Homo-oligomer: A and B are copies of this chain.
């Protein structure tokens, strides 16, 4: 099973290396940025290019692991071939491939990837979709070798899964950033808040998040809420504090 990677970002890096470690042959890495293509290619023993016309045309699988904004352009401009074309995006419909490939699908690893932080791919849920049963089986056979959590999910549901991840990962991480800034201004090390972050993330395995909610917003304790609003100088942050507190209260009174 020979694979070409289109893209050399965070997700491409993690996925290509994992496939390589599981004895898949990565033929080539394409990236608009030759340095990124080269760096990843060297790690997975592949060729590399930043020229679309130089993309190898007889690979078995082409994995498009790029930003959503560039995905349609690449699909439209890479020459058609007989390989299976797959993208890794949460919010892109599978049928984006429809006019450009006869065998296509989606391989969506539901995780956040930072280049410098390694993780165990086995635990990452992968969500598959394909335009026919045979292609789905091929994608499934690949995926079960790298993950213990392989699922099939339609494009229409996958976009909601992605949305849920925006809240549980991207917005959560932004909350961490805000905390970090508040602590830094008081010369309190960020390490101080790690046990709280860890406990908050781990107890929802045992208690539903709705039941796990604590803090002044539940009963909309205006005394503390107003004290906190006084402490916050940034007007956007004040608005975030207020809006989230109101939403927690609303959720709790449902």
Contacts and interface: CB of A to CB of B under 8 A. Distances in A.
Interface of A: 10, 67-69, 91, 110-114, 116-117, 119, 123-125, 149, 151, 153, 157, 159-180, 182-183, 185-186, 188, 190, 192-217, 221, 223-224, 227-228, 231-232, 236-237, 239-241, 243-244, 246-248, 250-251
Is the contact region of chain A dominated by helix, strand, or loop, or is it mixed?
helix
B197 A204 contact: yes
Contact of A231 (B116, B125, B159, B203): B159
A110 B209 contact: no
Given A160-B182, A165-B193, 8 more contacts: A113-B214, A123-B195, A160-B186, A161-B192, A173-B204, A174-B248, A179-B209, A240-B244
B157 A186 contact: yes
A126 to B, nearest CB: 11
